[in-house]
Amino acid sequence: MKWLVTGGAGFIGGNFIYRILDMYPRDGVACVDKLTYAGNMQTLERAKNDPRFSFYKEDVADARAMASVIGRERPDAVVNFAAESHVDRSIADPSVFVRTNVLGVQSLLEACRKHGVARFHQVSTDEVYGEIPRGVEGMAFSERSKLNPSSPYAASKASADLLALAWHKTYGMHVTVSRSSNNYGPYQFPEKLIPLAIVRAVKGQPIPVYGDGANVRDWLYVSDHCAAVDLIVRRGRAGEVYNVCGGEERTNLETVGAVAALVGRGEIEFVADRPGHDFRYAADSAKLREELGFSPAVAFGEGIRRTVGWYLSHRDWWENILSGKYRKFRR
């Protein structure tokens, strides 16, 4: 099987590429990544010399470039991980998110339609459903729940989901969508909560926590997310959405506390809450479990231990990011 993975020099995309190369000796992977600030060729260091792997430094929002790459590679499946994904950055500059997350999906869909790509998978987020307010217990969103995004980031992802599903309904393309909860694990850019907490604890710096730290997120280890996407692409029903959840809800304070305990230190600094900060996300992945037999394999305790261990043993990876040296690896 030939795959084209967009956003493959990023966190989840890079982990997905390694899953395919490690598990399927006959599969090939072409990676497309613009190498914006969160794209890191060091993440793909182990893949670069694999003859089954190829790399294109291109922008998914460049329709001509996407048509050219897809026409050249002729993939059986396109999996779109390419996205601007940091909520704080979307509040500061929404336009970049609309370009990559919405227009980029349109250009990919059109290129896939033009070249007859068999399967297109859109990787999305549970943030499209909006928040579950403080004090509401036992509630979780299903794939049929209405979309109610709060941030520009979440709104751009909801828009992309609807575009992808419209290409299925209008043009008959085999499109699937997955909406995952918060991911963590190796290669995550150190602006997100868990790697930021690890890095700052290691360096003896305060770990910033928004508000009172009571906001709740469901945590999904990245290898479980990649396994679910792999399964959905191969066996998921066309035109369907699948929630992918870890079933591991923690407050932000609990999450940071788990990191600090494993590192052996970590002073918490409460900072002013960000605008529109959703209190809780929770989605139900019963559909994925019942239709495709998927359940996460890595519990939070084990996953956070692996994650902290990886960052401690790959200090050069994140030090190069902090110093800016990682940019020299860009082609």
Distance CA 10, CA 39 (A): 5
- The 3-class SS string of 208-262 reads EEECCCCCEEEEEEHHHHHHHHHHHHHHCCCCEEEEECCCCEEEHHHHHHHHHHH
Helix (DSSP H) and strand (DSSP E) numbers for the chain: 12, 12
Nearest partner of 75 among 25, 121, 110, 116, judged by Cα: 116
Distance CA 9, CA 190 (A): 15
Nearest partner of 85 among 40, 142, 151, judged by Cα: 151
Distance CA 174, CA 123 (A): 14
Contact by Cβ (8 Å): 113, 39: no
Question: Which entry of 18, 56, 153, 326 is annotated as an active-site residue?
Answer: 153
Residue 153 among the catalytic residues: yes
Question: Which entry of 33, 84, 126, 143 is annotated as an active-site residue?
Answer: 126
Question: Which entry of 58, 127, 131, 230 is annotated as an active-site residue?
Answer: 127
Distance CA 94, CA 174 (A): 30
Residue 127 among the catalytic residues: yes
Question: What is the rounded (10 degree) CA torsion for 227, 233, 236, 239?
Answer: 130
Contact by Cβ (8 Å): 279, 139: no
Residue 59 among the catalytic residues: no
Known catalytic residues are 126-127, 153
